[in-house]
Structure 1
Amino acid sequence: MKTIAVMSGKGGTGKTMVTAGFSVFSDENLLLADCDVDAANLSLLLETSNTECRPYMGLECASIDQTKCVGCGICQVYCRFSAINQGDDGVFSINPLKCEGCGVCSLVCREGAITIAERQSGEVCHSDTPHGPLFHAELFSGSGTSGRLVFEVKKDALEEDAKAPAFLIDGPPGIGCPVISAISGVDAVVLVTEPGISALHDLRRLVTICRQFGVRMFLVLNKADLDEERAEDVREYCTDEGIEIIGTIPFDPAIIEAARRGESVAGMNTPAAVSLKESWKRLSRTMGISE
């Protein structure tokens, strides 16, 4: 089974639209994962059902047993994250949004009033779609470890006994920890960008990251006809870097309207949908997913 991550150096380039289109236009059902855990929305473009979720336990968090606390304040002195507050009544409490679970406060507390325990930071979910099982997640507001949550989504997906020809990942934007977690272990990356100065700048950064993993790279140029000069800059960059452009998708308001309605591009006979279908055909042939 080939593993392909659809990535973008910045948000808003159409990465999720491309991922949804690939899953729809595939002749066989794929194993799907939405690893943009901070803003997962692939399920909005696919007809999901039978969603089941399990808790995701992220960073640990400190808590104070008020029956043991004597109000000495030593925990607040040693907390490097300003996570311990003293109220007007003199009572100390933990701010869970700032606590990193390092455990220093519990070590310095002479009364043994502070304990470190797991806390739920999100959910990992599994849904059925007409195009294959979809694994996705939600990271709760203020929670960290998004890279670890991406790993959990991929792990759950790969434990699925799915007879799929490919594992298709909708990756997070940018170049941070969740991006590295999403790229790790894949066979190829499909880079989605658009003609623009910032898009090309962020594409360069993402390519630098991908080079470190030695993965094969392809590119889909979305909204290519909005700025021909900048589109040519992207083409020249791909030529210099040896990146194959598998699709050039024109700007198409019909695709945007379909996304707003939560509909896929299946059955649409618009220029963008036709180009997206051809992009998937080129990718699947090159990767040996289909004949």
Structure 2
Amino acid sequence: MKQLLILSGKGGTGKTTVAAAFIRLLDARSYADCDVDAPNLHLVTRHESPPEMRPFFGMPKAFIDRGKCADCGICMEYCRFGAISDVNGHEVEPYACEGCGVCMLVCPYGAVELRDSVSGDLMLYRGKDIFSTAELRMGSGNSGLLVTEVKRQLKDEAVSEGIAIIDGSPGIGCPVIASITGVDMVLIVTEPSLSGMSDLKRIVASARQFRTKVAVCINKADTEQDIALSIESWCRSEGIPLAGRIPFDKKALEAVNRNLSIADIDCPSGNAARKVFEETMSLLMNEGDESEYDRKGTDGQRISFR
């Protein structure tokens, strides 16, 4: 099974809109939403039944046994995260606790222990499609580990053949790094703005560390033609294939509000997305294309990933 990951250097570029269109155009049987901080791919994909859910245990949290605690205050003194209060006796504030375990080590009465804590919820939709996703709970960390579990769940349940579409997180943080690991190709959706171009360069640099095929799609490309041309010029200079442009289209918002993808309706953005899809599939399946493997290093020298 090949994996196509769709990323963006910043939020709001239309990454999920493109991912949903690709799922529809491919008639994908396996796909995932790895944006665990704010998953929304399920809003524009159709499912026959509710998801199977199971808890995700991230880092442990400290717990103070009031039956053993002597309120000596040593744990609060040593906690560098301000996670222990003494308002009603010494208690741990779970949203502030980092699970370091120092309080457990210094407690002379053995009143503190680290307990497993639910950090998120894994969800798996079954039916004619396999859709793996998850949502991180408020104030929790370990988003990268949760993304890894989403991908593992997809791999375990999906059919071995075909192409899986993965909607990643925006930015270049831990969930993005976890999303890129092991995929066959990354399609980066950017927008023609100064911040969009800056973040595009950052996510390209991150993806190259994994020696992964990279292509770029410019969404809302007609809103700033000069910057769109600059992005195209930069891609050419870096040897990065341009999968295409998608114009700004008010009908795209109408489609999303109706729980549809832009590939489900006749609209300019949907028509453009079809061309981007065809070019992306060609790049994904063309394993012998040197332009996909030869990259420039940070010093401008050519490096080979073959």
Q: What corresponds to 1:169 in structure 2?
A: 166
Task: Give a deviation string over 1:170-206, Cα, whole Å, max 9, x none.
Answer: 0000011111010111111000001000000111111
Q: What corresponds to 1:211 in structure 2?
A: 208
Q: What corresponds to 1:102 in structure 2?
A: 100
Task: Give a deviation string over 1:248-270, Cα, whole Å, max 9, x none.
Answer: 10111101111122212344121
Percent sequence identity is 42
2:135 to 133, 138, 142: 138
Please give the secondary structure, in 2, of the residue aligned with 1:213.
Answer: coil
Partner amino acid, structure 1, of 2:4:
I
8 Å CA contact retained: 1:147, 1:181: yes
8 Å CA contact retained: 1:63, 1:115: yes
8 Å CA contact retained: 1:255, 1:272: yes
Note the aligned Cα RMSD (angstroms): 1.4
1:201 to 189, 198, 202: 198
- Aligned: 1:227 with 2:227: no
- Aligned: 1:54 with 2:51: no
Q: What corresponds to 2:40 in structure 1?
A: 41
Task: Give a deviation string over 1:14-40, Cα, whole Å, max 9, x none.
Answer: 0000000001001x4331010000000
- Aligned: 1:79 with 2:76: no
Q: What corresponds to 1:155 in structure 2?
A: 152
Instruction: Please identify, of 240-249 and 155-164, the stretch whose mean Cα deviation from structure 2 is larger.
Output: 155-164
| 1:49 CA displacement | 3.2
Task: Give a deviation string over 1:78-98, Cα, whole Å, max 9, x none.
Answer: 1111111110x4x11001011
8 Å CA contact retained: 2:5, 2:165: yes
8 Å CA contact retained: 1:46, 1:129: no
8 Å CA contact retained: 1:24, 1:265: no
8 Å CA contact retained: 2:263, 2:274: no
Task: Give a deviation string over 1:117-152, Cα, whole Å, max 9, x none.
Answer: 10111101011476x311010100000110110001
Using the size of structure 1 for normalisation, the TM-score is 0.95
Q: What corresponds to 2:19 in structure 1?
A: 19
| 1:164 CA displacement | 4.1
Please give the secondary structure, in 1, of the residue aligned with 2:192.
Answer: coil
Please give the secondary structure, in 1, of the residue aligned with 2:183.
Answer: coil
1:252 to 214, 233, 249: 249
Structure 1: segments with no counterpart, 5+ residues? none
Instruction: Please identify, of 9-18 and 210-219, the stretch whose mean Cα deviation from structure 2 is larger.
Output: 210-219
Q: Distance in 1 between matches of 2:105 and 2:160?
A: 50
Using the size of structure 2 for normalisation, the TM-score is 0.90
Please give the secondary structure, in 2, of the residue aligned with 1:159.
Answer: helix
Q: Superposition pairs for residues 63-74 of structure 1, below 5 Å?
A: 63-74=63-74
Please give the secondary structure, in 1, of the residue aligned with 2:157.
Answer: coil
Please give the secondary structure, in 1, of the residue aligned with 2:209.
Answer: helix
Query: Which runs of 4 or more aligned residues in structure 1 lie more than 6 Å from their structure 2 counterparts after TM superposition?
Result: none
**Which one scores higher on RCO, CA 8 angstroms, separation ≥ 6?**
1
| 1:241 CA displacement | 1.1
Please give the secondary structure, in 2, of the residue aligned with 1:7.
Answer: strand
8 Å CA contact retained: 1:34, 1:137: yes
Q: What corresponds to 1:114 in structure 2?
A: 112
Q: Distance in 2 between matches of 1:146 and 1:166?
A: 25
Cα pair distance change 1:79/1:160, threshold 3 Å: same
Partner amino acid, structure 1, of 2:45:
L
Q: Distance in 2 between matches of 1:266 and 1:240?
A: 31
8 Å CA contact retained: 1:3, 1:188: yes
Please give the secondary structure, in 2, of the residue aligned with 1:243.
Answer: coil
Q: Distance in 2 between matches of 1:48 and 1:57?
A: 26
Q: Distance in 1 between matches of 2:149 and 2:204?
A: 24
| 1:163 CA displacement | 4.4
Please give the secondary structure, in 2, of the residue aligned with 1:287.
Answer: helix
Q: How many residues align?
A: 285
- Aligned: 1:279 with 2:271: no
Please give the secondary structure, in 2, of the residue aligned with 1:168.
Answer: strand
